[in-house]
Every structure is written in C-alpha cells, then in structure tokens.
Structure 1
C-alpha cells in the first residue's frame, strides 16, 4: 500500500479509532471512539507496517470499516491523513490534506501476514468489540 510521503515523514502521533459508522459527508472524520495513541517508534512502526500491506483485488462487502487511523504532525493541529480499513472488502480509504487523489482508495490483501499483524495491533489497542 502506498502512503503519502508527507504522512510518512511528518507524523508525530497516530490516533487509532474504532469506527462506528460511515461519515455523513465526504472528507468528514469517520465516527468512532479513539482507543489508542501511538507516538515515536510505535507510530513509525505502524506506518511502516501499513506501507508494507500488499495490494489486492477488490472484494464486495459494501465497505464497512472497523478500524481507522488519524495521523497528526508535531503541532497536533488538523489531521494530515485519516485512513479507514475494511478487512472484509480489502479496501482502505484515505483523506486529508496530505492525501493526493490517486492514493485516496486502495486495496490490500487482508489475508497477508502484514494485514494480520496490523489487525492484531488494532485489536490490542484495548478494545473488546471484535467487529472488523
């Protein structure tokens, strides 16, 4: 999966979100509760893992993401990028000022070891709800 260069180099904090619904407007944040905040090596490692997700074909499920991340720079101002992951249809949707249109919608192999590792990190963020 390809991440925007500005996100890879400029992220200081990642907020992990347990998504509860789809946004009501294009570009609006995905509703849900933050379950973890990753910074330093933990944020760098998470972005590296996301960047290694292998591509895949689209699977039909209607896009029902269960997990998302929001990336912030040092100022902790507006989000650089928000990414919502659907492990059923193998789709990730990204938006934010650092996301070029060509990267906004991508497909990843949800059965790959990297995807399993990412899902385990999300689940390990202290959430007992298992809707993926």
Structure 2
C-alpha cells in the first residue's frame, strides 16, 4: 500500500523539477539477442530532469569526475526507471551516460524521484 507521505513527496519533487528543470529524454538501448543476432533496439522515454553539479568535496577523480552531473529525474509519467547504461539527454542536447542510479523508493512502492549520476560522453 502506498504511504501518503511518499505520494506527497513525489508530487513536491515533480513540481520542483517541472518548475526548475528541463524537458529531456531517457534513451534505453537493449542489446541484440545473442542467439539470433541483429541490431539492438533503441527506445526514448520523455521526462523532466534537472542537472546539478556535484559539490567539490565529493569529486574524487575516480568515482565522481569534475564534469559529472547529478540528474534529478521526475518519476511521474516517465514509463521507466533510469538505470546504469541508459543515456539521459537534456534539452540542450547534452548526453549524460548514467553511471550510477538511485530510485529513492523508500516504501518499496512509490518512486519519489530518480537521482542518477550522469557522465558526459
């Protein structure tokens, strides 16, 4: 059962991302079948996202690079949960390869917001 607190937090996060964020796309590339071969399929999912830089104290040059962005992705109406290997495309066309994902799913039912680490290709 959905906790009303997480539903309110989800709505607040979505409202802030809609207000301050930008239109974007999550591009998921599924690999080809190893038996039959062929090309992988690409599917785009529209979303709202807000790219933010990391605080300098977290940048270590290995796990988090200076050019990495923290991408806050709204969870309402996205259709997929962003995961490692996906590509988030911002409104300006910048492609961020998702290298770490955190769904912020505290009750196991409601995805409040997706916070991912995006690395510019």
Q: 1 or 2, which has the higher strand percentage?
A: 2
Whether the TM-score (by the shorter chain) exceeds 0.5 is: no
> Which has the larger helix fraction?
1
TM-score normalized with structure 1 length? 0.25
Bigger Rg, structure 1 or 2: 2
TM-score of the superposed pair, with normalisation by structure 2: 0.26
